[in-house]
């Protein structure tokens, strides 16, 4: 009997102490919880810096989507009203958010960083039709929602850091070993990525899987079962290559990408304060 009373008293004391902790409730929708930089909640289609639509209608996102929620009407090659060059366009782009599983694969495969995810979700609606993102809505989201940090270049850059030019190799190594953040310090980040991807044989057949940074000599650990296979050539994966549009060099400082992230510990911001996002001059701007 005594143990019942003792342990019951202990449980009562535990809940009592909890009564004096600050409530963890976030009073949505008056208070919006700050989301991480990379939070993926909805989508936006982007324009280039020169105002031209970034989407070239290559249909890669439509093909890679596991849930087949993207429907694109490719527009064929047309003259661009801004640069005058012939390039592909998408006549219609529909993304059905009802069936989307938010896997970010479409963002990863886009060759022109046209589709990105946003940090704010769509508002709840009364009908399923309202959650089908039309092209107009997607382009509107470019202005009205904060972008997530990840676009195709950054995601691919995280996975396969671009090889720095030979002269900068020591600097790149030291930069990369700073905080473990991937090194996208090279100013020609955009142009290097296709270049690196276009030479799979050279980077893939290198001895260590990590090409850009120097690993300790005894990589991989001895107990790894496939130590002997470490030097086997990685099966070459072909690249799309052809449809990549040469992009103007980004005007942002190189170190701003990953190193410029702020930890998501900003205090909760009310909706009144937030407001729509002013047009960003830099695509990679962290907002």
Of residues 108 through 147, those in contact with other proteins by CB under 8 A are 108-109, 111, 117
The reply to whether 226 sits near other proteins by the rule CB under 8 A is yes
CA distance 49 to 53: 9
Pairing of strands 132-133, 42-45: unpaired
Among the listed ranges 91-99, 236-244, 248-256, 266-274, the one in contact with other proteins (CB under 8 A) is 236-244
The reply to whether 207 sits near other proteins by the rule CB under 8 A is no
The reply to whether 268 sits near other proteins by the rule CB under 8 A is no
Name the maximum alpha-carbon separation found in the chain: 88
If the CB atoms of residues 36 and 125 are measured against other proteins, the closer one turns out to be: 36
Which position among 82, 136, 171, 210 is part of the footprint of other proteins (CB under 8 A)?
Answer: 210
Which position among 1, 123, 167, 242 is part of the footprint of other proteins (CB under 8 A)?
Answer: 1
CA distance 44 to 116: 6
Q: Under a CB-based contact definition with an 8 Å cutoff, are residues 260 and 233 in contact?
A: no
CA distance 203 to 196: 8
Name residues contacting other proteins, limited to 25-44 (CB under 8 A): 25, 27, 35-40
Name residues contacting other proteins, limited to 52-81 (CB under 8 A): 60, 63-66
If the CB atoms of residues 68 and 79 are measured against other proteins, the closer one turns out to be: 68
Which position among 55, 115, 185, 212 is part of the footprint of other proteins (CB under 8 A)?
Answer: 212
CA distance 63 to 50: 28
Structure-block tokens of residue 181:
């953040």
CA distance 34 to 269: 7
């Amino acid at each position: 009997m005594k143990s019942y009373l003792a342990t019951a008293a202990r449980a009562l004391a535990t809940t009592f102490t909890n009564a004096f902790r600050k409530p963890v409730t976030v009073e949505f929708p008056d208070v919006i919880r700050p989301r991480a930089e990379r939070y993926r909640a909805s989508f936006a289609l982007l324009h280039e810096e020169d105002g031209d639509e970034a989407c070239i209608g290559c249909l890669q996102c439509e093909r890679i989507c596991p849930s087949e929620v993207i429907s694109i009407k490719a527009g064929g090659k047309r003259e661009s009203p801004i640069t005058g060059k012939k390039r592909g366009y998408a006549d219609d782009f529909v993304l059905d958010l009802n069936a989307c599983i938010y896997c970010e694969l479409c963002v990863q495969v886009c060759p022109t960083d046209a589709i990105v995810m946003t940090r704010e979700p769509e508002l709840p609606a009364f009908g399923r039709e309202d959650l089908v993102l039309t092209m107009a809505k997607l382009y509107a989201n470019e202005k009205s929602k904060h972008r997530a940090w990840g676009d195709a270049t950054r995601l691919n850059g995280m996975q396969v850091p671009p090889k720095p030019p030979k002269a900068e190799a020591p600097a790149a190594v030291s930069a990369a070993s700073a905080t473990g953040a991937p090194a996208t310090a090279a100013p020609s980040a955009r142009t290097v990525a296709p270049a690196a991807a276009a030479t799979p044989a050279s980077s893939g057949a290198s001895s260590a899987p990590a090409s850009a940074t120097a690993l300790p000599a005894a990589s991989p650990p001895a107990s790894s079962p496939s130590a002997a296979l470490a030097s086997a050539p990685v099966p070459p994966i072909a690249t799309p290559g052809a449809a990549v549009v040469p992009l103007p060099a980004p005007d942002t400082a190189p170190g701003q990408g990953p190193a410029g992230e702020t930890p998501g510990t900003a205090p909760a911001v009310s909706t009144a304060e937030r407001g729509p996002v002013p047009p960003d001059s830099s695509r990679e701007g962290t907002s």
